[in-house]
Amino acid sequence: SQELEQSPQSLIVQEGKNLTINCTSSKTLYGLYWYKQKYGEGLIFLMMLQKGGEEKSHEKITAKLDEKKQQSSLHITASQPSHAGIYLCGAALTDSWGKLQFGAGTQVVVTP
Amino acid sequence: GAGVSQSPRYKVAKRGQDVALRCDPISGHVSLFWYQQALGQGPEFLTYFQNEAQLDKSGLPSDRFFAERPEGSVSTLKIQRTQQEDSAVYLCASTKLGAFNTEAFFGQGTRLTVV
């Protein structure tokens, strides 16, 4: 979706290193979701952010939504092989929550 | 069931054939969504149900695509006269409450290949 840009498109990180993925919208976000997908499989819910400035963490993954609610970042600390996969951000761009726009995804490869 | 179940997992259809894809949402989940994911892309919204009511079908790419959820539980996405451009993974998701302001659970998807 051109309304939601994800960067980088892909990244290779050495095990133990940190990584950050960004998701930028041209519109104000009513809600922002981060999902993880392994090739050929469904999406696994990671986190949901709604309020400007909100930050959530789960294990080694932290997601933030900026104050203007137009950009979110996903940060993984001390990456592990289990963190490999495709990370997708999905956003509610209107107050009709039924319709999410997704970014194109970021493929993460973790090397030994 | 424990999660959202989709069937079949894989479907190969000859061009022009009709197909039906099934989604079993989590029991009691009010909302159900269908998405289409092309290779290397993020999912694209197709349609949304709240119980048996189809509240948004703006993402259906053509009148060959039809979705229903007659009893507010199982949903079927039907594609008539399939074309090669219909080849994609079709994902179904369901949520407990009325919309996405809560965790949404996705099925594993149906990979449709039109030959």
List pLDDT tens digits, range A2-45. Answer: 688 999 999 999 999 999 999 999 888 888 999 999 877 788 98
Q: What is the dihedral of CA B48, B51, B54, B58, to 10 degrees?
A: -10
Per-residue pLDDT, A29: 84
Average pLDDT along chain A? 90
Give the pLDDT band (50/70/90) at residue A46.
Answer: very high
Give the pLDDT band (50/70/90) at residue B97.
Answer: confident
Residue A66 φ then ψ, to 5°: -70, 170
Tell me the residue range of the domain where A14 lies.
4-111
List pLDDT tens digits, range B34-86. Answer: 999 998 899 999 999 999 999 989 999 999 999 999 999 999 999 999 999 99
Of B42, B104, B109, the CB nearest to A45: B104
For chain A, the domain total comes to 1
Token code pair at residue A64 = 């933030």
- Find all residues with CB under 8 Å of B53, minimum gap 6, and list them: none
Q: What percent of chain A has pLDDT over 90?
A: 63
Per-residue pLDDT, A36: 95
Domain boundaries, given as residue ranges, for chain B? 5-114
**A94 shares contact with chain B (CB less than 8 Å):** no
The stretch A89-108 carries a mean pLDDT of 82
- CA–CA dist A3, A9 (Å, integer): 16
CATH topology of domain B5-114: Immunoglobulin-like (2.60.40)
- Find all residues with CB under 8 Å of B25, minimum gap 6, and list them: B4, B32, B73, B74, B75, B92, B94
Per-residue pLDDT, B16: 97
Whichever domain contains A49, its CATH number is 2.60.40.10
Q: Which residues of A touch B46 (CB under 8 A)?
A: none
Nearest CA in chain A to B6: A42
Shortest distance between the Cα of B97 and any Cα of chain A, in A, equals 11
DSSP letter (8 states) at residue B84: G
